[in-house]
Structures are given as structure tokens and as C-alpha cells.
Amino acid sequence: MSHSELKEQIEALVPLAADELLRRRDVALDLVERLRAALNKGDVRAAQPDARSHTGWRVNTWVKQGILLGFRAGTLTAQSLSAADGDNWNFFDKDTVPLHPFYLQDNVRIVPGGTAIRDGSFVSASVIVMPPSYINIGAYVGAGTLIDSHALVGSCAQVGERVHVSAAAQIGGVLEPAGAMPVIIEDDVLLGGNTGVYEGCIVKRRAVLATGVVLTGSTPIYDIVNERIISRASPDDPLIVPEGAVVVAGSRSIASKSGFAREYGLSMYAPIVVKYRDEKTDARTSLESALR
């Protein structure tokens, strides 16, 4: 079945009511399985680069609709994994979202210790996944990327090549609405420890988010290099971190907002672009290469 045929058949099932979808469950399960297989190979993606778009990316709505269809058509089942010591780990999930199968020839380094990767996600050769971490359905992780301990790659998030997702970094999932942009992390980005990127933000290539930076679609970024405030162009657009920007967690005074704020010297969290990436920054962000 071609991708265009798969798209057409998924879109035909999306509007069906629950009872009608139940009657056509076998058809839905076959389509969802085909979609997961294509996602595993990277043949289709929830979003993909598009030079014609002002954001540089295009959402493939039908792919996200197909993933949602899988949740609708799935039934809760008991599943288990066998541990090396003979014990079983029991868990319960929809039968349409099993774990991703990996083999030695895939050349993905998955270090033992509690990581879970859902089927229907693309993890390229030469990726390193440290434990415990989680990669959700619809996600895409490019070659040479490091997913560190306690890190999350959310549903449909797109992570480029040679990205360092540091310990406890959270890349949010954006599955609904189906037409919404997922979180995009482009090539050669460094996400520092305990960073969070949510609500379809786009972090352009070679940017650095320092420890503790948290971004949502409505978070303004204060660029002191260019003396500007970076925000989304419209409520439907993503927040875009510029290429090569080095963003740190800062604060701004809200003393002018009220006498109470002035009296107590209150301030608000504010991400700040303090510089743009240079050779010195590149040297600091390349240290993890010794671990690969």
C-alpha cells in the first residue's frame, strides 16, 4: 500500500463514530500497524522540513490522525517484559501501541535500566539512549543524537541529528489537535539539564538552551544581543528559537506592575539570549563526543 493510499484510508476512518469504528476495527488495526511500520522506518513523519513554510516545517496531519485512530481503536491489554533475573515487569496499555522492537543490526545503543520506546517512533542508527528515558509514538530522533537519563521525547516530537538531550530534559508531546505543530528540535542543538520545550516550539539548528530553561508557545524570549523580544507571530504559530542562539534562564522585574510587587522586589522568569553560538560554545558542547 502506498503512503497516499494509507493516508486516504486513514482519513476515511477518522470521522467515524465509536460504534461504527468498532465494526471496522480490523481495518483500522491493519492501517495503524502499517502506519507504525512506516514511522519506525522514518518513511513518514508527523512533521517534516519544508522550505516553503515560514517556520521551515510542515505538519502531516494525517499521520497524527492515524496515531489517534490507533488509540481509539485499541483495547487495554496486559503486557509484560521478562527481566534478566527471570522476573516479569507487568504493564497495561492499548494493544495498538506496543514497544518498538530493536535488533543489534539497528546500531542503536540502548543502555539497560528502564528505558521505554514505543512502536511507531523512528530512532536512527548511532543514537544513544541512556536509562531511564522515554520516546513516545510518532517521535523522530536523528542520527548521532544522545538521549540522556530521565529525558522525555514526547509524542510526534521531531529531534534532529547530533542533538544532546541532557539529563531530565523534557521535549513535550503535541498529538492533539492533529493539525498542531509538534515540538521541533533541529540539528546540533544542545538542551541542557532540566530544560523543557513544550507546545510546538521550534528550536533552530545549533541553538543552546542552558540548564533550567523552559519554553512554551507563549513564553517571550528576551534577546539582549539584538535588543528585541522574540514571541510567536500569531496564536497559531510556534515560538521559534533562532539559529545558534544561546538561551539562559533569567528574570525580569515586575516592580512596575503593582506596589506590592515593588515592595517585595518581585520578578518573573524570563529566558534570555545572551549570545549566539561561536567556537568557544562549540568546544564546550562537544565534550560528550568522548562517550560515543
Domain assignment of residue 59, given as a range: 3-73
pLDDT digits (tens, 9 = 90+) for 32-60: 999 999 999 999 999 999 999 999 999 99
Residue 148 located in a structural domain: no
Residue 229 C-alpha from the chain's centroid = 25
Kindly provide the b/e burial profile for residues 22-56, where b requires at least 16 CB atoms within 10 angstroms of the residue's own CB.
eeeeeebbebbebbbebbbeeebbbbeeeeeeebb
Residue 291 — pLDDT band, cuts 50, 70, 90?
A: very low
Closest CA to 68 of 158, 160, 173, 152: 173
Largest CA distance in the chain: 67
pTM: 0.93
Structural domain count, the chain = 1
d(C-alpha 159, C-alpha 123), whole Å:
10
Residue 16 lies in a domain: yes
Question: Quick check: is 139 in a domain?
Answer: no
pLDDT one-digit tens code per residue, 73-103? 999 998 877 666 667 778 899 999 999 999 9
Q: Give the distance, in angstroms, between the CA of residue 247 and the centroid of all CA atoms in the same chain.
A: 19
Assigned domain for 21 exists: yes
Query: What CATH number corresponds to the domain at position 57?
Result: 1.10.166.10
